[in-house]
Amino acid sequence: MTWHARSIAELANALERRELSSVELTRHFLERIGALNGALNALITVTAERALAEAAVADRRRAAGERGPLLGIPLIHKDIFCTDGVRTSCGSRMLDNFVAPYDATVVARLKAAGAVMLGKANMDEFAMGSSNETSFYGPVHNPWDLDKVPGGSSGGSAAAVAARLAPFSTGTDTGGSIRQPAALSGITGIKPTYGRVSRYGMIAFASSLDQAGVFARSAADAAIALGAIAGFDPRDSTSVDVPVPDYAATLDGPLAGLRIGLVKEFSEALEPRNGALIAAALDVFRSLGAKTTTVSLPSLPLSVPTYYVVAPAECSSNLSRFDGVRFGYRCTDPKDLRDLYERSRGEGFGAEVKRRIMTGTYVLSAGYFDAYYLKAQKVRQLIAGEFGAAFQQVDLLIGPTTPTPAFGIGAKIDDPVTMYLNDIYTIGANLAGLPAISAPCGFVEGLPMGVQLIGPPFSEGRLLNAVHRYQLATDWHDRAAPGYA
């Protein structure tokens, strides 16, 4: 078995037994990146010299007697997380020349755990997109079919793990941007409860929806990675001071008596082949002792229009700081201050970002605030309330992650509404601030599909446990894209 095919725990054991060093492991992944990233375009920046230096430090720490599941393990960060001394572009021309002066909390915690950063992953510009086609650096290609998208906005992070360029990666999820690319790329991705992971140093898109999470091949690997980044951070006013359990320690708990609810609204218009995969996943959970039923969330179909009022409104506010004055892209030879603002923003932002800024500005305007933004917030509370009522009946909710497998690059980029509907099954969890996970559950037309589990607040351990037991009974998560095994 080659090193890139091993789990985080297997790699940690190999490092502990001195079968290889972190420097050797890091070189192995850097060589894969050098050979494979050209076709995938999964990474914006490769930090080879820094990675080898961090790996050498990890080897010295281990030689001194330090232990840890991530000590010396390579990873890739989504390029939305500030990394001290390294370009943090957010996939945009606006920040193409921005070198962060500090580490995001997620980055700092993984660094403290001894993880080795290989580089920064490509992403939809400012995390706005469902296909990773809006990046200033070009689209990311799906390892399962290079003519297909990997999903977005964390498509680079997902494609990197799917292609075995790193054992795990970080991502962010505002409306499904971890779970959707995880499903389309055939890996595991978890979005924690809103407030579980610090947003400090994570460039904001929609502040009440954004949440950091992780990609990995399996729930077992995701549990190790999530445990390292979760926890209260006083620098983030939305961070929640709730103890973080040992996710890895509870993975093997039995599922006997676990109540899983199939969301009726998810299954009504489901494409038959996708529906068959979800039904098969339910059969596996039942064989493991879980009890299943059907649950209705009547307002859930309103989640997409609600999201596309709330998220653009928040992005309109957050992105106002990029004006060509303080940092980021600045137009050449501005005639006056107005010209500086207009051309810097006009040239620095891509089409999708401009579309959402304009939409958000419109719904926040004096004549339309009550009709759109305020009403959307009321519907958001209604959706959250229905989720809360559902969790009085069941422990977890289940459904598909995406309506279809990965689609062709360019197939939907000129039809924003159709593109937005790719997140139809994922947005509800963000509006309600709930944890959710996607795991591979089969294939349609040779492309991977995902099953999604949603839990009540701070139930990440239960979600990881359920998916881990499912993955012990299936092998979908062990399938590698042809040419990347």
Residues 6+ apart with CB under 8 A from 244: 196, 227, 230, 231
pTM comes to 0.97
Per the domain annotation, does 338 fall within a domain? no
Q: Which amino acid is at 142?
A: N
Query: What is the extent of the structural domain holding 173?
Result: 3-257
What is the reported pLDDT for 1?
54
Q: What is the pLDDT of residues 137-173, one digit of tens each?
A: 999 999 999 999 999 999 999 999 999 999 999 999 9
Residues 6+ apart with CB under 8 A from 257: 289, 290, 291
- What's the CA gap between 94 and 451, in Å, rounded? 36
Q: ω before 153 within 30° of 0 (cis)?
A: yes
Per the domain annotation, does 389 fall within a domain? no
Phi first, then psi: give them for residue 436, nearest 5 degrees: -155, 155
What is the reported pLDDT for 266?
87
Tally of CB atoms within 10 A around 36 = 18
Q: How far is CA 103 from the centre of its chain?
A: 19
Per the domain annotation, does 226 fall within a domain? yes
Give me the catalytic one of 177, 218, 239, 438.
177
Q: How far is CA 173 from the centre of its chain?
A: 5
Per the domain annotation, does 336 fall within a domain? no
Give me the catalytic one of 22, 78, 148, 239.
78
Tally of CB atoms within 10 A around 122 = 33
303 is an active site residue: no
Per the domain annotation, does 104 fall within a domain? yes
Phi first, then psi: give them for residue 129, nearest 5 degrees: 160, 165
- What's the CA gap between 369 and 417, in Å, rounded? 22
Give me the catalytic one of 89, 130, 131, 153.
153
pLDDT tens series, the chain, 485 aa: 599 999 999 999 999 999 999 999 999 999 999 999 999 999 999 999 999 999 999 999 999 999 999 999 999 999 999 999 999 999 999 999 999 999 999 999 999 999 999 999 999 999 999 999 999 999 999 999 999 999 999 999 999 999 999 999 999 999 999 999 999 999 999 999 999 999 999 999 999 999 999 999 999 999 999 999 999 999 999 999 999 999 999 999 999 999 999 999 987 768 899 999 999 999 999 999 999 999 999 999 999 999 999 999 999 999 999 999 988 999 999 999 999 999 999 999 999 999 999 999 999 998 899 999 999 999 999 999 999 999 999 999 999 999 999 999 999 999 998 899 889 999 999 999 999 999 999 999 999 999 999 999 999 999 999 999 999 999 999 999 999 99
Q: Is 13 helix (H, G, I), strand (E, B) or coil?
A: helix
- What's the CA gap between 455 and 376, in Å, rounded? 23
153 is an active site residue: yes
Selection from 81, 77, 80, 68 nearest residue 112 by Cα: 68
Angle, to 10 degrees, between the axis of helix 48-63 and the axis of helix 22-40? 150
92 is an active site residue: no
Number of structural domains (the chain) is 1
What is the reported pLDDT for 271?
86
Q: What is the pLDDT of residues 312-368, one digit of tens each?
A: 999 999 999 999 998 899 999 999 999 999 999 999 999 999 999 999 999 999 889
Tally of CB atoms within 10 A around 417 = 9
Per the domain annotation, does 364 fall within a domain? no
Per the domain annotation, does 225 fall within a domain? yes
Per the domain annotation, does 445 fall within a domain? no
What CATH number corresponds to the domain at position 101?
A: 3.90.1300.10
